[in-house]
Every structure is written in C-alpha cells, then in structure tokens.
C-alpha cells in the first residue's frame, strides 16, 4: 500500500523530530510519501533538506516563507492537492510521535472496520517534548470524543464535555474528526476537501459534517497509534517552544477568512444532516435517550447489532408512544454497534397474546 502523510508546519522545529520518528518506525511493508507544507524561513528549509537528504525521494516539501502563510486550512488544502496515486491519506500535525510499525497498525485497524468508507480519527494521547524514554508509549488506548447535548445552530454543532477510552480490541464508532489525526482511503480527500478560505475556527466541524453526509463513518482505533504534544504555546506560557501564526498579528489582520456557517456548507447526499444530529446525540451526555429513526407506536424489542449482524444488546419496551427510548447498556456498547433492529409486537385480540408483527433494520454506517 502507498500512504500519503500530510504535515502542515508553521515555524515548528518539531517537524524534524516528527518525520524522523515516523520514518524510523515504518514497518517497511508499505510505500510512504511525506508531504510537508513548510511555512518557515529559508534557513530552516535548508536544515530540513540537509536532515532528510537520504530520504529526499519520499519527502515532498511545499515551502512557503512564513510571512506568506495563511493558516492551517490553507496549508492542509495545498497538501491535499499533492495527493496522486496513494491508497491512503494520513493527516497529522507537525508535532507527533508514533508506535513501531505505525503504518501496518493503521491499515490493520482500518481493515478491522470491515467497511470501505471508514476514517480512523481521535485526539491522540499526549507526549512531552523532553520524554527521551518515550514513556508516552505506555498509553495504550485511543479515545472516543464526547460532547454536551448537540446544539443545532448554523455556527456551532456541539459543546465539548470530554472523552472516554476505547478499551475494546476493535475500532469503534467515533463521530468527530480530529484535525491532527485523520487516516482514510485517499478518496476521502475528494469527498471532504479542505476550504482554503477558512483560517482555523470551524475546521473540524466542516470536515466532520462533509465526511458524514458523503457516506463516511469515523472510528476510534482499538489502540493508540500516534501521539501529539499538547504543549501550551501561548505567549504567556512557560512551556512555549514555537510561535503561533495567530499571534503574529501583522500576518493575520490582513487575511479575509470565512467562518463556519452550516447554511453555507456543501453537504453530501448519502446521509442526511438530520441523521448526523441523531448520531451526534449518541456521543453526548444525553446518549441514553436514544432517538429511533421512526415512531413505532407499539411494543418493541430493540437490538444493537455487531459489524457482522450479531446481537450485542437487547431491551424490551412496552407500548412505546414516541421515538425516544432509554438505553440501559454502556455507552461503549452503543458505539461498538453498526446498526440496530426493531422487532415490533402487537396484541392479538383473538388469541389474547402478544405476537410479532414486523422487523425493521437501521444502519449507523
């Protein structure tokens, strides 16, 4: 397989350590191309070229003098346009680390989803810049993003409440795309292209809703595969090691960027926006109030289904009179499900028995 690795870097010296780490941890089973949008100085460009002179055939650098940089979305769109015949696309930040054989791990996890239009994504665990012993590798689990109850406005889709860990041994559904870690077949780039008119705000909302409505399903991997440093780089921080583009006020003040507005997003026609919000609710603190895709108005047996259509949870509800049911399973069980089945029951006045009347199936994928 051929993987394109997208790395947008703004005056970040960690880009050298990032690429060094990933090249050293490749499995050797796949062809890897590293695309770097390097927004920096001529001096640092020369340092990068010198450092990776032995890997120049696999590293493509799109150099932009940092004073001409226009934000991360601008850089990531340029990198998407560099994709040619690669099978997979991995988008990351310029400050990342990896496990050994990360490329094989990503492809293996993708294959475990059993669907073609699967995206692996999560907010990666933290690594410290001074962690020479690589203790971050002790963090074994990936997370699943959780939110407050979704808000249906054109400017905001949700409010963040926290994460929980995927402690299963398989990828499970994850609704939100993290800009610093997205792994998918390269066709995703065409279905959810970055808007270079965006600056930063709304970046993840945009690619999440575009991906969902064009038929993609996000998954949290069954284990931590990549790591990200969340070092505080604001001006007042003692941890700061690199400049931030938005702190270079003279650079941003003349840029005319769009902000996220759901009414202006070009949506796909595979899955509806209404279904997106129904699904988003499964990842909120309101998740136990499960919204069925129809109102059965009778007694039902609700069944969650595995990727292979096997039952992983069931619950009987007597005389349902609306499309909201209360779940009694764990949230991780809900996110492990690929769909659900509803078996309807009604009373037979002749026999005075409750009999099965219909079966309806629905997919989360």
Half-sphere exposure of 178 (CA within 13 A, CB side): 25
Please measure the distance between the N-terminal and C-terminal CA atoms of the chain and give it in whole angstroms.
25
- Determine which of 75-79, 194-198, 268-272 has the lowest per-residue pLDDT on average: 194-198
pLDDT at 216 over 70: yes
Give residue 50's pLDDT. Answer: 96
Give residue 348's pLDDT. Answer: 67
- Each residue of 274-283: pLDDT tens digit? 899 889 999 9
- Each residue of 200-211: pLDDT tens digit? 677 888 999 999
**Helix, strand, coil tally for the chain in percent (to 5):** 25, 30, 45
pLDDT at 361 over 60: yes
Compute the average pLDDT of residues 63-78.
92
Cβ-proximal residues to 253 (8 Å cutoff; 6+ apart), any chain: none
| Residue found under tokens 């993987």 | 3
Cβ-proximal residues to 18 (8 Å cutoff; 6+ apart), any chain: 7, 92, 94, 95, 96, 97
- Each residue of 46-57: pLDDT tens digit? 999 999 999 889
pLDDT at 352 over 80: no
CA-to-CA separations, 105 to 98, 111, 175, in angstroms, rounded: 10, 10, 21
pLDDT band at 195; cut points 50, 70, 90: confident
Task: Using DSSP, state whether 291 is helix, strand or coil.
Answer: strand
b/e map 110-121, b = 16+ CB within 10 Å? bebbeeebbbbb
Give residue 244's pLDDT. Answer: 85
- Each residue of 122-179: pLDDT tens digit? 999 999 999 999 999 999 999 999 887 665 666 667 767 678 999 999 999 999 999 9
Give residue 199's pLDDT. Answer: 75
User: Residue 238 CA to chain centroid, in angstroms?
Assistant: 30
Cβ-proximal residues to 301 (8 Å cutoff; 6+ apart), any chain: 314, 315, 316, 317, 342, 343, 345
Average pLDDT, the chain: 91
Residue 355: phi and psi, rounded to 5, are: -120, 155
pLDDT band at 253; cut points 50, 70, 90: low
Give residue 139's pLDDT. Answer: 97
How is the chain split into domains, by residue range?
A: 2-252, 288-363
Asked if CATH classification 3.90.550.10 holds for the domain at 2-252, the reply, yes or no, is yes
CA–CA dist 130, 234 (Å, integer): 19
Share of the chain above pLDDT 90, in %: 72
To 10 degrees, what angle do helices 42-51 and 14-24 make? 20
* pTM for the model: 0.94
CA–CA dist 261, 257 (Å, integer): 12
Give residue 222's pLDDT. Answer: 98
Give residue 247's pLDDT. Answer: 78
């Amino acid at each position: 397989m051929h993987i394109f690795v997208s790395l947008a870097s703004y005056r970040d010296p960690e880009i050298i350590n990032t690429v060094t780490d990933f090249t050293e941890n490749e499995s050797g089973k796949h062809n890897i191309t590293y695309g770097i949008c390097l927004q920096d100085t001529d001096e640092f460009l020369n340092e990068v070229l010198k450092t990776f002179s032995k890997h120049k055939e696999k590293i493509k650098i799109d150099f932009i003098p940092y004073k001409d940089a226009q934000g991360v979305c601008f850089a990531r769109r340029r990198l998407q346009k560099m994709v040619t015949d690669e099978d997979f696309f991995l988008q990351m930040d310029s400050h990342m680390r990896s496990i050994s054989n990360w490329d094989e791990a990503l492809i293996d996890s993708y294959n475990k989803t059993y669907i073609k239009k699967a995206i692996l994504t999560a907010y990666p665990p933290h690594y410290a810049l001074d962690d020479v012993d690589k203790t971050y590798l002790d963090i074994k689990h990936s997370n699943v993003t959780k939110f407050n109850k979704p808000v249906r406005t054109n400017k905001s889709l949700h409010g963040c409440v926290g994460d929980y860990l995927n402690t299963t041994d398989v990828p499970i559904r994850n609704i939100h795309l993290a800009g610093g870690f997205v792994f998918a077949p390269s066709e995703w780039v065409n279905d959810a292209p970055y808007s270079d008119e965006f600056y930063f705000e709304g970046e993840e909302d945009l690619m999440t809703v575009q991906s969902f409505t064009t038929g993609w399903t996000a998954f949290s991997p069954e284990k931590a595969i990549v790591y990200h440093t969340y070092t505080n780089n604001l001006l007042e921080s003692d941890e700061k090691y690199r400049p931030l583009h938005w702190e270079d006020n003279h650079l941003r003040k003349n840029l005319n960027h769009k902000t996220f507005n759901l009414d202006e997003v070009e949506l796909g026609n595979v899955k509806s926006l209404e279904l997106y919000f129904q699904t988003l609710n499964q990842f909120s603190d309101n998740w136990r109030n499960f919204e069925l895709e129809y109102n059965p108005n009778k007694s039902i047996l609700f069944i969650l289904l595995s990727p292979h259509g096997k039952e992983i949870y069931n619950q009987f509800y007597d005389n349902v009179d609306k499309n909201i049911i209360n779940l009694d399973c764990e949230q991780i069980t809900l996110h492990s499900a690929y769909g659900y089945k509803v078996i309807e029951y009604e009373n037979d006045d002749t026999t005075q028995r409750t009999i099965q009347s219909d079966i309806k199936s629905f997919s989360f994928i």
